[in-house]
Structure 1
Amino acid sequence: MTVNIKHLIEKNKEEFYKDLDKVMQIESVKRAPLGNAPFGIGPKQALEQVMKIASDYGFKTNIVNDAVGYAQFGEGDDHIGIVGHLDVVPAGDGWSFPPFKLSKKDEKFYGRGVLDNKGPIMSCLFGLKLLKDMGIKPIKPIRIIFGTDEESGSSDLPLYLAEEIAPIFAFTPDCKYPVVYGERGIVNYTISTHFDASELQNLTIQGDQSSVHVPDELTAIFQGESYHVLGKRSPSNAPELGENAITILATKLSSNKEMSDQLRRYFLWVEESFSKKHYGEGIGLDFEDEDSGKLILTPYELKVEQNTIQLSIAIRYPVSTKEEEVTEQLHKVVPKESEIKIIRQLKSTSFPKDDTNVKKLSAVYEKITGLDGTPVTTTGATYARFFPNTVAFGPSFPGQKGIAHNSDEYMDEKDLLLNMEIYMEAILALACD
């Protein structure tokens, strides 16, 4: 059967927008466990809403261990999977639109999760509905899987895999194009540097600091004097797109002659090691390889804790680099009286670039966009690290970066619909050929 997918999407897009808005309106941010909601009530409500929508579309649905749901088209165990997530990071400040609503202006859709990841995974679900309504029958079952804890460590997937078999192949629409076959290693450290208690008793540091973004506003108070600095927020895996308030603050504090020599040297070290040095060059961590490119380093938290100053940094290292090499070099460059603690670690991952299904996805991407479909690697961390037989595929196109976790998260309408077209063609190639 020949299907004009582009025409089909255009004809039905308003229905898609209404259903997407139902999901966007739910504040699916992780909270404390509550009853049968292991990641808080918001993610669970979003999951239940999507299961209702999928059931209304005519799909078999199920919620597994209150953590992950799926919508399946076709029967059988050896299924093709599409795995995305319904949880989102907190909205934060600075929005021009309601964060928990699908808003449209100048051919752009705005709202928390419209790109990461409600918009893309719902476009997969609606695209599958359109194919089903046209009478398309898959040779292999298609299962669209909806997680609820991707933003906080993907602890939902083990709950799913404890009850369900893994797909024979899957993609996650939660990264970038073309096919992402490899993900860099990730390691986060906290460097605790000791001082005499008297040196720190008049110093406090306040601000919104998180491992997911470059901090953009900090205030230090030292001996009653306030030091307020403004930077620019960006995702922690794209620090070059932001301005880090930690290093700006360190520059200010290092020139304060009222501080002890040790404190001033410490802040000078922070400035010289990390200010605009996003690739580890300030501390001898400038590793790189052909597949991954350069190591990426982001200071994301600076705080005073008892008699220490604690600096936390996030590092994404190339697939050919070992975590032990990074740790060994870091020990060589931290200030005296410092301790290093690893607080997060994810080994790099790689999927065969010449896999038949990877080639099918690459061919779909090239056919629809006319762009080079050669598989790539990423600095991000997706479900592909934790789910067997999985690669990342979309939704961001080359050159689109640093949008997802910011205020006014957006997706161009044409890109949202182009994603749906790509994913529908991908379903046909993977499960219907």
Structure 2
Amino acid sequence: MDINQRIDAMRNEIIDSTAELVKIRSLEGEAKPGMPFGEDVDKALQCALKMSEKLGFKTVNVDGYAGYAEIGEGEEYVASLGHLDLVPEGDGWMYPPYAAEIHDGKMYGRGTSDDKGPVVACLYALKAIKDSNLPMSKRIRVIFGTNEETGGEDIPYYLKKEKAPVLAFTPDADFPIINGEKGITIFDLVKNFVPCDKDGKVIIESIVGGNAANMVPDYCEAILTCANAEEVKNTVEEFAKDKKYEITVNIEGNKAIIKSIGVSGHGSTPEQGKNAIMQLITCLATLDLRNDEVSDYVKFFDEKVGMEVDGKSFGVYLEDEPSGTLSFNLGKINLNRKSGSTTLNLRYPVTKTLDDMMTPLCTTLGTTGIMMENFSHQEPLYFETDHPLIQKLAKAYSEQMDEEAKFVSIGGGTYAKEMPNTVAFGPTFIGQPSTVHQPNEYIDIEELIRISKIYAYALYELAK
């Protein structure tokens, strides 16, 4: 019996084990002894470890931060890395989010595809390899992460206790193979304004918009004090009509409340959204603003960002063949007459360096008095297509799917960035919708079985 036949024979067990894990609402909670991320996350970890023991694997609990199931002998090991923690279920579900109900060949529930279903697929892939008595030169480990969604403390702790795999994949993204992930930066551009008592036709009182750095903002609102509010209203409405932006103005005495509606999107693909903050800023820049530091701050972003999503006017444009152009997202703004703070999420190409981006960025800020605060950074991840890890995963995918594996670089960051020698590999197939973090998250049952087969051959390719 070959690996695929063994997977097919375990079909019902794979479905039942996935349902067992999905029924656990493993959201981060209050830390307790041996349970750094709370009782519910620990319940999922214990479930996965007991499941692994029943399948005949060696199991280890890494102090509640992670766990793993393992087969084989040898100094080195290869691995799959998935996580058992969840984002909250939210509203709008057709079926209960923790019941693992199956409808029309799909199992519904939070975690079915991110990452509990894929973790179970990897466990039964490991079982198929074990039962086939295939020769291996390395151990194979299925690693259970527990803090991917909220804090990312799980894998750094794991790496303090365990050495890293020599080759690994995470079933936490898309097929075929994500061999590149852009470098990710998030930071605030902040300025305190010198008080100004001069009169002006239009005085900016406040601008507030956006929810997160890594989201294209879909709403922004400004309050202005106007010498002629009706004139401002007409100017804004003409601008909105000309640009085909959804911007409205309400007049309350000498105040104009301007509301900008955009289209939300992910910060890794800002071109797919419509930035409500930048719509509003480009609109305000056309008004006869008071000559003060508040207006200068707004005009700076109009001039250096506008509606661009690649950083050209800001001077930070970068591009390479594997991953394309830099992604520039202005995600939040909070401005009043005392200070302004704007949050940027810049993602630079995989073959470039942080200095390639930051040197021209600092030049652009120059003598504006705008300061950078709350800076965070993730290095890019990139494997050449001839790297052994990429070639072995490509072989497993191509043989199982009967099609050539393609290599993809993305702007988002996956679990692969947390573990050395790791790339993202599935579980979502090309052309299939992703329901990750959305209401009605599901995994197609046939695809659950198919990914179990792909992961079995992939793990064996890495270990043989």
- Please confirm whether the aligned pair reaches a TM-score higher than 0.5, indicating the same fold: yes
Report what 2:24 is aligned to.
Answer: 26
Deviation at 1:107, TM superposition (A): 4.5
Structure 2 distance, partners of 1:222, 1:102, is: 51
Structure 2 SS opposite 1:116: helix
Match of residue 64 from structure 1: 62
Instruction: Please state how far the C-alpha of 1:70 moved relative to its aligned partner.
Output: 0.4
Q: Does the 8 Å contact 2:82/2:171 carry over to 1?
A: yes
**SS of 2:215 mapped into structure 1:** coil
1:410 deviates by 4.4
1:354 aligned residue: 386
Q: Which amino acid aligns with 1:290?
A: E
User: CA deviation digits over 1:384-422, x for unaligned, max 9?
Assistant: 333233232222334568753444444444443332221
| 3-state SS, counterpart of residue 151 of structure 1 | coil
Cα distance in 1 for partners of 2:94, 2:340 equals 36
Per-residue CA deviations over 1:361-405 (Å, capped at 9, x if unaligned) read 111111222333254433232343332332322223345687534
Q: CA deviation at 1:202?
A: 5.4
The partner residue of 1:203 within 201, 206, 215 is: 206
Distance 1:305 1:96, change over 3 A: farther
- 1:287 aligns with 318
- Judge which range, 398-407 or 332-341, deviates more: 398-407
Q: Give 1:74 deviation, angstroms.
A: 2.8
- Partner Cα separation in structure 2 for residue 306 and residue 149 of structure 1: 40
Is the Cα–Cα contact under 8 Å of residues 204 and 222 in structure 1 kept in the other structure? no
Q: Provide the rounded CA distance (Å) in 1 between the counterparts of 2:41 and 2:302.
A: 39
Aligned counterparts, 1:30-69, within 5 A: 30-31=28-29, 33-69=31-67
Q: Following superposition of structure 1 onto structure 2, how do residues 141-152 of structure 1 map, counting pairs within 5 Å?
A: 141-152=139-150
Q: 1:430 to 1:310 in 2, by over 3 A?
A: same
SS of the equivalent of 2:423 reads strand
Task: Could you tell me which runs of 5 or more consecutive residues in structure 2 were left unpaired when the two chains were aligned.
Answer: 198-202, 226-254
Q: Which range is displaced more, 65-74 or 247-256?
A: 247-256
Question: Shift in Å at residue 159 of structure 1?
Answer: 1.4
AA at the equivalent of 1:301: K
Secondary structure of the 1:122 match is: helix
Of 344-353 and 92-101, deviating more is: 92-101
Matched, 1:381 2:413: yes
Amino acid paired to 1:23: L
Q: Does 1:2 align with 2:2?
A: yes
Stretch deviating more after TM superposition (134-143 or 306-315): 134-143
Aligned CA distance change for structure 1 residues 331 and 58 (closer, same or farther; 3 Å) = same
Counterpart in the other structure of 1:181? 179
- With 52-61 and 276-285 compared, the bigger mean Cα shift is at 276-285
Match of 2:270 among 239, 245, 264: 239
Q: Which moved further from structure 2: 274-283 or 53-62?
A: 274-283
Residue of structure 2 equivalent to 1:310? 341
| Contact 1:71 1:144 (C-alpha < 8 Å) held by counterparts | yes
Measured against aligned partners, the alpha-carbon deviations of 1:138-167 in whole angstroms (never above 9, x if no partner) come to 523211001122234533222112222322
Q: Give the partner amino acid of 1:307.
A: K
Match of 1:278 among 294, 309, 312: 309
The answer to whether the 8 A contact 2:2-2:132 is kept is no
Count of aligned residue pairs for this structure pair: 428
SS of aligned partner of 2:163:
coil
Quick one: which amino acid aligns to residue 116 of structure 1? Answer: D
Counterpart in 1 of 2:428? 396
Q: Deviations over 1:323-342 (max 9, x none)?
A: 12212222344593311135
Shift in CA distance, 169/272, structure 1 to aligned 2, threshold 3 Å? same
CA contact (8 A) 2:214 2:345 kept: no
Tell whether the 8 Å contact from 2:318 to 2:348 is kept in structure 1 after alignment.
yes
| Structure 2 equivalent of residue 319 of structure 1 | 350
What displacement does 1:76 show?
4.0
Q: Distance between the aligned counterparts of 1:272 and 1:112, measured in 2?
A: 43
Q: Percent identity among equivalent residues?
A: 33
**Structure 1 pair 145–13 and aligned structure 2 pair: CA distance change class (3 A):** same
Give 1:343's match in structure 2, choosing from 375, 389, 410. Answer: 375
Change (3 A) 1:272 1:56: farther
For residue 289 of structure 1, report the CA deviation from its aligned partner: 0.7
Distance 1:45 1:305, change over 3 A: farther
- The residue aligned with 2:232 is none
Amino acid at match of 1:372: E
Tell me the residue number matched to 2:248.
none
Give the whole-Å Cα distance in 2 for the aligned partners of 1:376 and 1:250: 35
List runs of 5+ in structure 1 lacking aligned partners: none
Structure 2 CA distance, aligned partners of 1:259 and 1:103?
Answer: 60
Match of 1:205, SS state, is strand
> Which residue type is aligned with residue 454 of structure 2?
I
TM-score normalised to structure 2 length: 0.78
Cα deviation, residue 193, structure 1: 2.9
**CA distance in structure 2 between the partners assigned to 1:201 and 1:277 by the alignment:** 23
Residue 243 of structure 1 aligns with an amino acid whose one-letter code is K
Q: CA 1:103/1:229 → structure 2, altered by over 3 Å: closer, same or farther?
A: farther
Cα distance between partner residues in 2 of 1:65 and 1:219: 47
Q: Which has the larger radius of gyration?
A: 2
TM-aligned CA distance change 1:194 to 1:110, over 3 Å: farther
**Larger mean Cα displacement after TM superposition, 250-259 or 46-55:** 250-259
Q: Which residue of 1 aligns with 2:241?
A: none
